[in-house]
Amino acid sequence: MEATESMAQDVGIEGALLQPLAVIPTPGGPVMHMLRPESALLPDFHQCFGEIYFSEVLPGHVKAWKRHTRQVQHFAVPSGLLRIVLYDDRQGSATRGVLCELALGRPDNYALLRIPTGVWYGFTAMGDAPALICNCADIPHDPTEGQRLPVDDPSIPYAWSAEKA
């Protein structure tokens, strides 16, 4: 299945955007785009690149909740399928109190997700296979600028359950 890259779509949280990515079929397996200089999510890619890393998410495990005070995340899931939940509790945000749940990955939801600073996020692999996240962060990892909450923290109106994984 070939997807074409197009303009970024609003996902319902201020500053959070989703851009479909191209999957180009080839005889030995597909080529999957993630970032291009003309990306709507990274217009100044050469100026805002901090690091790229991969994170594997095993079925039945939830990685939540986290937010950054300076770092912007750019997630793509080239392998597996991920359920990702965003929650906006930023003071002064037009979408404060909004919760957004997305499926990200292949074969049908290969896209680049931009998570702005201050937005809580968590994720789990959907189904029986691990999911692999590729994150292009705009600054290098700094353990002092991230914040965490327990997976079942009552300040975020979302309950992770086996049915959702």
pTM value is 0.86
Comparing CA positions, the residue from 105, 112, 134, 79 lying closest to residue 11 is 112
Question: For 38-76, how does the pLDDT look when each residue is reduced to its tens digit (9 = 90+)?
Answer: 665 655 555 567 888 999 999 999 999 999 999 999 999
Asked whether 116 and 14 are in contact (CB, 8 A), the reply is yes
Residue 91 is encoded by which pair of tokens?
């003071």
Q: Which domains does the chain have, with CATH numbers?
A: 9-148 (2.60.120.10)
The sign of the CA dihedral 69, 59, 106, 28 is: positive
pLDDT at residue 153 is higher than 90: yes
